[in-house]
Amino acid sequence: MKIIQLTDTHLMPPGIVVNGVDPEMQLRAAVTDILEKHADADLLVVTGDLCNYGDPEAYQLLADILTPIAFEIRLILGNHDKRPQFIAAFPQHPRDDKGYIQSFLDTEFGRLLFLDSHEENVIGGIYGADRLEWLDAALEGAGKKPVTIFIHHPPIDPGIAHFDRIGMHDEGAIMERLIKHQGGVRHIVFGHIHVPLTGTTAEGIAYSSGQATGHRFVTDLEEPAPWWTGGHPCYRIIQIDDQGFRAYGVEVGQSRTDRAPICEGP
């Protein structure tokens, strides 16, 4: 199964720059590359902060940019998003019976869970009892199948000073449930931190973030006020198959210096 992950697109109405980067230009370049190279993908997941201020015009722009994508799409809300405005722009997008943008997909490689950690006017993630009820049911429904989690806020401590107070405010409730899932957790995929991160919890659950499609941080783990920077539009190719889970980072528009020869081996 091939999944494309975009994250932290931070769209604004056309022509408006965010932290030195034009988010529309970045996203259009990434989507063009995806359409050219990965039309065979099974799923696109955008892991939150879809729009920088939740403007209706920005959500409409997002819908327009994603229109050419023929395969299935799951959009996840981040702290910069606005749930009512999102629903107005994407009224058919799956959500749970309480209105949260949560859903799941069953595949031959287990169940994919898409979680909603957005709370209005809160920078960190919120995942209270009403959402945990849905998660409990989704995990129970997965049975002995492994689950793969997609969410905006990392449900673990990313170890980055800037995010010390704006992480997941759930007192470990999500991880407590995932640790107990009888089918195991294949991987946790998130955004929010704008830089690539890969890790494993003490219990052995693997997790990773995509790099922001728009603006990103200069990686500095100890700096509470890090610098923003630009860079190539980017996305990740995620492969889930009999080999397990693999994720590959892609940067669009890299310069080519020389071509590697074919290595015959062994």
pLDDT, tens digit, 9 for 90 and up, residues 101-130: 999 999 999 999 999 999 999 999 999 999
pLDDT of 174 reads 98
pLDDT-based confidence at 11, cuts 50/70/90?
very high
pLDDT of 133 reads 98
pLDDT of 234 reads 97
Closest CA to 130 of 98, 171, 94: 98
Bond prior to 266 in cis (omega within 30° of 0):
yes
In degrees rounded to 5, what are phi and psi of residue 136?
-60, -45
Q: What is the DSSP string of 57-111?
A: HHHHHHHHHHTT--SEEEEE--TT--HHHHHHH-TTS---TTS-S-EEEEETTEE
What CATH code is assigned to 2-251?
3.60.21.10
pLDDT-based confidence at 192, cuts 50/70/90?
very high
Model pTM score = 0.97
- The residues spanned by each domain of the chain are 2-251
| Cα torsion 197, 207, 131, 48: sign | positive
8 Å CB contact between 195 and 216? yes
pLDDT in tens, 139-173: 999 999 999 999 999 999 999 999 999 999 999 99
Whole-number average pLDDT of the chain = 97
pLDDT of 96 reads 98
pLDDT in tens, 12-49: 999 999 999 999 999 999 999 999 999 999 999 999 99
8 Å CB contact between 14 and 64? no
8 Å CB contact between 207 and 245? no
| Mean pLDDT of all residues in 201-213 | 97
pLDDT-based confidence at 52, cuts 50/70/90?
very high
pLDDT of 169 reads 97
